[in-house]
Amino acid sequence: MSAETPSKLQKMINSGNFAVTSEVGPPRSADGAIIEHKAMMIKDYVDAINVTDNQTSVCRLCSLAACIRIKQMGLEPVLQMVTRDRNRIAMQSDILGAASFGINNILCLTGDHQHFGDHASCANVFDLDSTQLAMCVRMMRDEGKLLGGWEFEVRPQMFIGAAANPFAGPNVAMRVSRLAKKVAAGVQFIQTQCIYNMDTIKTFMKMMVDRGLHEKVAILAGITPMKNVGMAKYMQKRVPGIDVPEEVVKRIGGVPKENQAEEGITLAVEQIEELKEVEGIRGFHIMAIEWEEKVPEIVERIGLYPRPQLA
Amino acid sequence: MIKAIPKPIEEIIENVKDCDKLLIAGCDGCVTVCEAGGLKEAKILASALRLYFTQGGKQAQVDDTSLTRQCEKEYLAQLSDRIDQYDAVVSLACGCGVQYLAEMYDKKVIYPGVDTCFMGVNEERGLYSERCQACGRCILAETGGICPIARCSKRMLNGPCGGSDKGKCEVSKDVPCGWELIYERLKTVGQLDRFENPTVPKDWTTSRDGGPRKIVREDLRI
């Protein structure tokens, strides 16, 4: 986590407090007011707000424009950027543009294959992958240089993040190695895939700690509350790379329908409380999918509200 | 080798339905091996087209042949004394052969009879799979002999992504995750240290991104 940037998220992590982030998914229209509305709901409860980049390959209002809007609301955006849709010229151009508005956090992702989305017949790009995008941002920030060699004065001050999925098993050791590769590429913080299998995340973190990797990168644990048993079953069966143990489905399904949402929130809160004790976990990334209004309640219940105000 | 599959006959008929004299030209190279466009397939297609014309009450001549390779002029020249008599030629060669035939006989209408798919291997008869995308700068030494450009759906050079599940690709449960294969192979051959070393952005100029490619081997040219 070497390079210091003006990122408020980085400051919170470095302060030793648990960091809290959440995300806003832009609309499938030109309605920017939706972004403001979602950001307003969570703004006092998080340190930074991720904006997804055409997640699940569904075309949406762009992450960069939404991040600028959030920045102009006086909040701290995390620009998610996938390498699926743009080549290195377009991505570096967007990074310079983001930095020109004072955006200081980027989450480097490869992105879901377009096969999942609403434009399955499109061409993909994948000029870079997520690791190479992180290398690219580091070069721009630390050397003031583009991949093409052009040198420039005003550098993007980006706190560099990436994703990790300990659950895309079965080989947890390979997932730790993959993360080590991202750290070597310059990644400073990680937001994990949604955690439901507590045994696997603990195994993963133990391996991270044994290798000392937890001191080189800040791990923010990804938490997505279940709205109902239908969602739990869908995540279990249909979403690649997500591991929902049977006991989670049973627990949510074991209460009356009208209480399932509450049970989902309680489960998320219990998970976070358990994860607070796991060495190397430096914060939480709460992805309440189309359920942003529940983020304040979760943050209050885990005792992380109000958010510390750092100088 | 290059792998291809026969085009649906309806698509071929749509192109040739107004022809009176037609030649079906197979190729004895790659498309023969994958049983998409050799002499056998040329004869089958010619028979099917004859049947189509007869059933429509039309007198049409459909001949068949196969050339040693349609990607070489000396073999294409085998058609020079008779190609003029045909209204069109349906080439069952790969895309290279179809184009080279059209280039050599530039006044003749040439239609493709197969869909050229990829460069791959014969896993079993009737089961072919991709192995190489001809990027022009081979990295197999670094990846345990398994190509992530051809075998990862996102051509990641630092995989695997977070979408693979139980060793399968997020795109299909029938596709093995290329990077899981690479990891296991590097482990087997004692080169796992390569896995954690980030691969820098690739220079794609030798791939299709550099424009149409050409090899000039001065050492071989006379």
Is residue A173 over pLDDT 80? yes
Query: For residue A239, what pLDDT is reported?
Result: 86
Tell me the mean pLDDT per 10 residues along chain B, length 222: 98 98 98 98 98 97 98 97 98 98 98 98 97 98 98 98 93 96 97 96 97 97 88
* Among A43, A142, A45, A140, residue whose Cα is nearest residue A93: A140
Q: How does pLDDT run across A4-35, given as a tens digit for each residue?
A: 999 999 999 999 999 999 999 999 999 999 99
Can you give the pLDDT at residue A1?
55
A146, closest residue in chain B (CA to CA): B201
Looking at residue A311, what is its pLDDT? 75
pTM confidence score: 0.97
Does residue A231 fall inside a structural domain?
yes
* Percentage of chain A modeled with pLDDT above 70: 99
Paired tokens of A243: 């591991």
pLDDT of residue B181: 97
Residue B222: the pLDDT is 81
List the CATH number of the domain containing A234.
Answer: 3.20.20.220
Query: Confidence band (pLDDT; 50, 70, 90) for A240?
Result: confident
CB contact under 8 A, A178 and B159: yes
Domain ranges (residues) in chain B: 2-118, 137-195
Burial of B127 (0-12, 13-18, 19+ CB in 10 A): exposed
Amino acid at B165: D
Q: What is the pLDDT of residue B217?
A: 97
To the nearest whole angstrom, how far is the Cα of A197 from the nearest Cα of chain B? Answer: 15
Residue B54, token pair as written in the block: 């007869």
* Domain extent at residue A117: 8-301
What's the domain count of chain A? 1
Take residue B65 and report the two structure tokens written for it.
């042949």
Nearest CA distance, A61 vs chain B (angstrom):
23
- Chain centroid to CA B128: 11
The pLDDT of residue A2 is above 80: no
Is there a contact between B197 and A181 if contact means CB atoms under 8 Å apart?
yes
pLDDT at B142: 96
Of A49-53, A168-172, B79-83, the range with the lowest mean pLDDT is A168-172
Is it the case that residue A241 has pLDDT exceeding 90?
Answer: no
Residue A307 contacts residue A44 (beta carbons within 8 Å): yes
Beta carbons of B162 and A241 less than 8 Å apart? yes
CB-CB contact of A192 with A178 (8 Å): no
From the list B120, B63, B68, the residue with the least C-alpha distance to B97 is B68
Domain membership of residue A262 (yes or no) is yes
Model pLDDT, residue A257:
96
Rounded to the nearest integer, the mean pLDDT of chain A is: 97
Mean pLDDT calculated for residue range A223-250: 95
Helix (H, G, I), strand (E, B) or coil at A155: coil
Comparing CB atoms, the residue among A116, A128, A164 nearest residue B201 is A128
Residue A198 lies in a domain: yes
| pLDDT surpasses 60 at A249 | yes
Instruction: State the pLDDT at residue A291.
Output: 94
B184 phi, psi to nearest 5 deg: -65, -40
A310: in domain: no
With an 8 Å Cβ cutoff, are B165 and A240 in contact?
Answer: yes
Question: What is the C-alpha to C-alpha distance for residues A171 and B128, in angstroms, rounded to an integer?
Answer: 28
Mean pLDDT of A108-131: 97
Fold of B2-118: Rossmann fold (3.40.50)
Read off the pLDDT of each residue in A127-148 and give the average, rounded to a whole number: 98
Residue A309 domain flag: no
